[in-house]
Each structure stands twice: as structure tokens, then as C-alpha cells.
Amino acid sequence: MIPDGLRRWAQTRGTSLSEAYLRGAEKVVEILLALQRNDVATVSVYNLSRANLGRRDDELDAVYSASLHFLNTLVPQHFDGSACSVRLHGDRTALPAEYVAAAEHVEAAMTGEDFRINVLAAYDAADELRAAQRRAERDGCDISAAFEIGAVDLVIRTTPEPLLSGFLPFQSQYAQLIFLTTPLNDLTGSRIDDIVADYRRLPQLRGR
């Protein structure tokens, strides 16, 4: 999942970035709940790329504030820690200490295996590839088995631009790509239900 378009949503609605991102965090939870009830096992949410860290301080402050609300409040409120797990992927040294502490707390508290939420923050595909190569060399396995996140079946981006923006490129090589004209903050769980249903009606050949 690539939640996008929040700055544009704030501009068109005449609202603050902070309000737009907080609403976005709540919408991400709504979408995660919709995916969970559709028996999706794992969702990877693109919170911040490494390139995003070059944005203005006020924009990053809005993202971090909403992310803390997501990690500290929304996830524990809406997901059962015995059934759900959360994992942060990315360069933790590039993120604020408060963000990392919140992520590590929820990682420790939520250890279930039925529904897995990956949060990508300060994420860079080249970093992920190098880390996978090191694990493959250490464990004596093929690099394809050394990625911590498995193959992606479906990518949903909440803007119409047909871009992955560096989102899990190795894992997404056979993914179905959905680029929505509906902004994240206007998206509904029922729309996610329809997207998943449409995906499941299509044969998944993966090059065969």
C-alpha cells in the first residue's frame, strides 16, 4: 500500500498538513481493517522513503506526528496483539528517536501471526538489497530467500500517477498495480473490498 496525495488533499480542502496526515493515519487503519477482514495475511505500508526525508521540516513533522498516533494509539486500539504483528523496515538511524521507540514498543507488544503489518520508513530499495545479500551470504541461501518481506501480490497507490516510487521493487515484480483517483482521505473500506474482489477474479499467472 502506498498512501499518497495528502499534501494535495490538504491544499484542496484548505486544511493543515497535520490534520491531513492525522486523517490519513486513521484511513490507513480503516484500509488495514478492510484487508484483514478479506483474509489478507500481510500488508506493507509505505510511510516514508529515504528520499522523503529531504522534505521541509513542517511536512516531516506532520508525517511523524501522524505516524506516532498510528503506532502508539490506532494500531493497539484496533488490532489484537496476539493475532497481529507489526514490523518497521528501513534505516532506523535516520528516523527520530521517538518514532523508533514507538515502533519498537508496538513490535514487542504485537507478536501474532494471523495478520502482519510492515511499516516502511526511511526505506530504500538499495539498502534492502544490500541487507538481503549480507543475510544470503551469512546463511548460505539464495538472495531471493533472504528478503524479510515476501512477494507482493497487489499494490494500491492512492494517487493516479503510475509510479512505484521505489516501493519494494524486487517483491512487486509480478504484482497487480492499482492507481486510484480517489485520495487516501476519501477512500472507504468498501472500495477496498471491491479492489480485493476484482483482484481475486483475475488469474495470477506470474509470467507462466
Q: Is there a domain that residue 68 lies in?
A: yes
Decide if 123 contacts 92 (C-beta within 8 A): no
- Count up the domains in the chain and report the number: 1
Q: Is there a domain that residue 22 lies in?
A: yes
Q: Is there a domain that residue 166 lies in?
A: yes
Identify the DSSP state of 2. Answer: B
Residue-level pLDDT, tens digit, the chain, 208 residues: 999 999 999 999 999 999 999 999 999 999 999 999 999 999 999 999 999 999 999 999 999 999 999 999 999 999 999 999 999 999 999 999 999 999 999 999 999 999 999 999 999 999 999 999 999 999 999 999 999 999 999 999 999 999 999 999 999 999 999 999 999 999 999 999 999 999 999 877 776 6
CATH number (domain holding residue 27): 3.40.1180.10
Decide if 59 contacts 7 (C-beta within 8 A): yes
Q: Is there a domain that residue 1 lies in?
A: no
Domain span at residue 37 reads 6-201
The set of cell numbers assigned to 182 is 480517489
Single pTM value for the model: 0.94
Q: Is there a domain that residue 137 lies in?
A: yes
Q: Is there a domain that residue 55 lies in?
A: yes
Q: Is there a domain that residue 37 lies in?
A: yes
The set of cell numbers assigned to 52 is 522523503
Picking from 31, 2, 6, 13, the residue whose alpha carbon sits closest to that of residue 187 is 31
Q: Is there a domain that residue 208 lies in?
A: no
The set of cell numbers assigned to 13 is 480542502
